């Protein structure tokens, strides 16, 4: 695409080292010239390195949740000993096509450590095998399951928050909006912690200027992911796909947003922040200089990745506890 910025000359030295390591581990990991099956193999291989040396948890528990779409795997991370903890539901990124509990294990543990909450990661069904809105429907049902079985899981049924990175940030916000539409007690959802998400923009300055082989987010790449996730491209106008088609001016919890300066999705976070701020909904937007999309994965190398999660933890402690 024409008129793109030369991102490799703009990113930080830490980002340069992280991208070099990414390419060493799985060259062309984000290339959409390969099949989605090949992408998953490369993605899982590359992520194994970044998930090494995570923080210790008091307990990690794997289980499955029955939904009307089938069994959904979940994994709970408990950072401290306590009979009851608040619950932060975590949804991994990967363009709705890639990722699983293992590819985001370290990230979930870091979030658990910084929030002090029980983090429950949901292994929602991936596309193209599952089409939207199935991931959101599964997330909603897992939420209700955890509320209904809170004693077994040692969580407070009145103290939930949602978090996710990239496509998982989209699922986090969409799940809240779906639950709001059901008429749940909104005070049960204390905060949203959203890392470099896509929330619905089909065109923006950041998407025109940014994106390339390093992040797999050129417009053609993004269209590839959407074509796998949606039944047809007309669904991009559905309210749980384009989340800006929902009323975000009221009945919203406090929202933390972390964005990368060199991310084509940057303007999604900026727009969401502006809407919330204009309507006096607590929001914090941190834009991390010299970083690219998915930088949280590089927490073994990037100070910014750890800073983003630490900032999210402080925001959570301030508004959700």
Count, in order, helices (H) and strands (E) of the chain: 10, 8
d(CA 174, CA 177): 5
> What six digits make up the tokens of 168?
């998982």
CB-based burial, 66-78: b 16+ in 10 Å, e otherwise: ebeeeebebbbbb
d(CA 307, CA 20): 21
Q: Residue 56 phi/psi, 5° resolution?
A: -75, 140
> Cβ-count burial of 1 within 10 angstroms (0-12 exposed, 13-18 middle, 19+ buried)?
exposed
From the list 286, 262, 257, the residue with the least C-alpha distance to 18 is: 262
From the list 195, 230, 33, 232, the residue with the least C-alpha distance to 104 is: 195
Is there a contact between 51 and 99 (Cβ–Cβ < 8 Å)? no
**Catalytic site includes residue 166:** yes
**Catalytic site includes residue 104:** no
Q: Which of 127, 166, 269, 273 is catalytic?
A: 166
Q: Which of 92, 293, 297, 298 is catalytic?
A: 293
Q: Which of 165, 263, 267, 268 is catalytic?
A: 263
> What six digits make up the tokens of 291?
């970083």
Is there a contact between 100 and 63 (Cβ–Cβ < 8 Å)? no
> What six digits make up the tokens of 124?
């929602």
**Catalytic site includes residue 263:** yes
Strand order of the sheet with strand 189-195? 59-67, 70-78, 118-123, 85-91, 155-165, 189-195, 255-260, 283-288
Q: Provide the pairing of β-strand 70-78 with 155-165.
A: unpaired
| 42 Cβ neighbours under 8 A, 6+ residues apart | 26, 28, 29, 34
Active site residues: 166, 263, 293
């Amino acid at each position: 695409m024409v008129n793109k910025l030369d991102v490799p000359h703009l990113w930080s030295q830490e980002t340069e080292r992280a991208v070099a390591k990414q390419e060493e581990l799985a060259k062309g990991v984000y290339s959409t010239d390969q099949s989605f099956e090949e992408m998953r193999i490369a993605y899982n291989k590359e992520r194994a390195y970044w998930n090494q040396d995570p923080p210790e948890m008091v307990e990690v528990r794997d289980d499955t949740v029955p939904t009307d779409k089938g069994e959904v795997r979940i994994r709970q991370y408990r950072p401290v000993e306590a009979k009851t903890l608040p619950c932060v539901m975590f949804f991994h990124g990967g363009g709705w096509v890639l990722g699983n509990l293992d590819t985001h294990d370290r990230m979930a543990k870091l979030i658990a450590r910084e929030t002090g909450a029980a983090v429950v990661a949901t292994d929602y069904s991936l596309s193209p095998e599952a089409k939207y809105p199935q991931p959101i429907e599964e997330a909603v049902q897992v939420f209700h399951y955890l509320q209904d079985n809170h004693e077994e899981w040692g969580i407070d049924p009145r103290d939930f928050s949602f978090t996710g990175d990239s496509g998982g940030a989209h699922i986090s916000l969409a799940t809240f909006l779906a639950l709001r539409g059901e008429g749940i007690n909104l005070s049960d959802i204390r905060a949203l912690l959203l890392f470099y998400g896509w929330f619905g923009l089909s065109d923006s300055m950041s998407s025109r200027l940014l994106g390339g082989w390093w992040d797999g987010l050129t417009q053609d790449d993004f269209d590839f992911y959407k074509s796998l996730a949606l039944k047809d491209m007309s669904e991009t106008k559905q309210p749980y796909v384009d989340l800006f088609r929902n009323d975000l001016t009221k009945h919203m919890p406090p929202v933390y947003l972390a964005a990368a300066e060199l991310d084509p999705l940057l303007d999604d976070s900026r727009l969401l922040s502006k809407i919330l701020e204009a309507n006096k909904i607590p929001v914090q937007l941190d834009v991390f200089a010299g970083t690219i999309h998915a930088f949280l994965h590089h927490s073994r190398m990037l100070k910014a990745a750890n800073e983003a999660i630490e900032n999210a933890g402080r925001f959570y402690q301030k508004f959700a506890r």
